[in-house]
Structure 1
Amino acid sequence: MIEVVGIGLDGATGLSENVREIVENATLLVGSARHLSYFPKHPAKKLVFGNFLEVIKEIQQHVDERVVILVSGDPLFFGLGRLLLEKFSSEQLRFHPHLTSVQLAFNRIKVPWQDAKVISVHGRSLEELTPLLQQGVEKIAILTDEKNNPSAIARFYLGLDLPTRYDFWICENLEDSQEKVSQFSAIELADLPANNFTDLNIVILLRQSEEKERPLNVENLPLLGLPDSIFLNFQDRPGLMTKRETRLCILGELGLKDGQIIWDIGAGTGSVSIEIARLCPSSQIYAIEKTAMGINLIEKNCLRLQVSNVIPIHGNAPDLLTDLPEPNRIFIGGSGGNLLDILETCQKKIASDGILVLALATLEHLNSSLVWLRDRDWSYRLLQVQISRSVPIGNMTRFSPLNPVTIITARLN
């Protein structure tokens, strides 16, 4: 029988009496140099992990003896257990898990973790983090390595320019006398050298609540092209907003002038409305949004960015459009399944020299919009936006693509 024993930085003292007895009775003791150092007077033959295949061959020669393999934490949690199960039958193995670093880390920062997402970037790519960060997962535990260290993770996160904000907790040497738990913002952490942390660390990301948002100093913000991370966003759908690069294209296609009436249909977080409002302070922008959460976000974002000429309108289009003033410009970013009905109302209400801009993510909406425009004698042009952003990967850089969007710019003939 091969006994696979999880052990922590507290060494032999952290083992239960039964597990300690199993280790003491071993005739072959296998582990890293650190693990074996916890048992300096053990009489068994000791085998230090180096080349995995060579170690496996040595273990196979002693499989009928009392073999104990020492590993960190739980061997079946991002541990050696998976590889051992590929080389030995389950009947030959017995596992004795210790507390995992993830358990210890969440307990140190006193946060329940049953709903946390756990990911290992140990020997892997940081890109595996991207979907979790884009989804705005509330709690993320990250197992690191020397290359994908806490500072590298923070730089990767900042490179994605996401609207969701996280607190970074770094837990080092858990259960050791040198244990250390620290909290950082992403910007603080990104500037720290890799050697600022010990090799044995785990990173916990906790999504910030809206209450932690601070008023913005708008004098330090660009006039055009606000970062996505500026806007408060849907907590359950943080990626649901018009991205900065696409937003810039839309603003250009709208042909804005000051003093206009503008409709933003399906306004979401209000990012497009707020960009227009800052560019054209004497224009009136009607931000039409069907969800109460969206209206709440629009109002909060207007307050944070000190915008007063955006008028949030809660309700379903096209029903409430008939009561709004004639628009010079219309942007449709969302339709709630009522796209063709919305277009009919827009045709009736838009000024004679008005411009209609649609941002469409699906082929079905693109096709139905083009058929509608052709049947009603609108002139139009298409702009397909396929953008990738650079993100740091260790000491290198790669491109991360955004979802493609087709922009239709149309005028009445």
Structure 2
Amino acid sequence: MAPPEQSRVPILAFVTDDESEAALRGGFVDVGAGFQARRGDAHTAARTLEKEGTPAILLVDISGIEDPFAALDALASVCTPDVRVLVVGESSNLTLYRRLTRDLGIAEYLYKPLTRENVAIFFGPHVTGAAQQGGGERGGSVITVSGARGGCGATTIAVNLALQLAEVSRGHVALLDLHLRTGTAGIMLGVRSGTGLRVALEEPDRVDSLFLDRSSIPVADRVRLVASEEPMEAAPRPTENGVKNLLAMLTARFNFVVVDTHSPPGVAERIALATAQNRVVVTGPDVAGIRDTLAIRKFAASLGGGNVLTVLNRENLPGGLKTKLVSDGLGAAPDVIIPDLPRHLPRAAHFGRPAIEESAVFRKALTPLTHRIAAVKPAEAGTSLLSRLLGRAGG
């Protein structure tokens, strides 16, 4: 299990020279925020933040980098969406400034030589919060995983999809289990679910900015679980505002939010499906599963936007329908097919170990779904990866 997240560094800077560091330290003296400086550029920052937590404000140097836009795109993929990025460089070109601040969503750009006064004037407001936030949609991508019927393996898909997304993208992933009384995501990961999820869904006014740190559980590198184990006699009543607020908090902190839903959809599931950029429907090789898959896909399509992806789980299950019959029933071949693995997957779940670590066959079968989702980000056409991940599309 990954260690708990450390407190976020307020300001972390990567600069290539002593003079710039001195100007930054002088300019940030009066803002009262913790400041850390390291020697390096945007490439150094990307390598570092693959292993460390994202600071609240990140300042990077693009001096001497042949393709700064590619470097910043690479950096964006390893940062949480709520980071605010400041950039310094050698060029005073106005076109570069406009591309960085308007197209890529960078908060501010200054060219060298830096002075204490310029740092305080132009970077200071972004550190103190006085600068106006960008106007684009904020946050990461929401992916719902819905089982056509109970027992079809949707939670197994959701749990391992979240883990594999973090591996493939090096982004930060949240796994949200909406099964408040009977959820098994925590069991599959060998952890006990935390508390607070029900409160967040029912009473959003009681949830503050520290909720995620207190209520989410680190389960792997860059993956945190948000789940609850409510007693069977409990009657959770998620509110529309509570669900929307929770998803907004999660997408501000994570590049991907994988939501394990149940059917038929309630208030929480309906909002999650409406928000999602990718809606994964998992079915087994049976007639009832085909019927319910078609119903869920129809409902998801009525919400507009987003992709609907069908996963056939447990292919070649003894007594199950052949794949061709499943495809005929669905009207098209499933997007992803995962074979029946009666020995490896139950054993992994019993011992609280991820199935992708126990079964190479399962890992390989899940990879096409992971790759497809990792390549799709919530963005309008023409915006860059950096702008999409930082949530400030073309301000």
TM-score normalised by L of structure 2 = 0.30
Q: Rg larger in 1 or in 2?
A: 1
Higher strand share: 1
TM-score normalised by L of structure 1 = 0.29
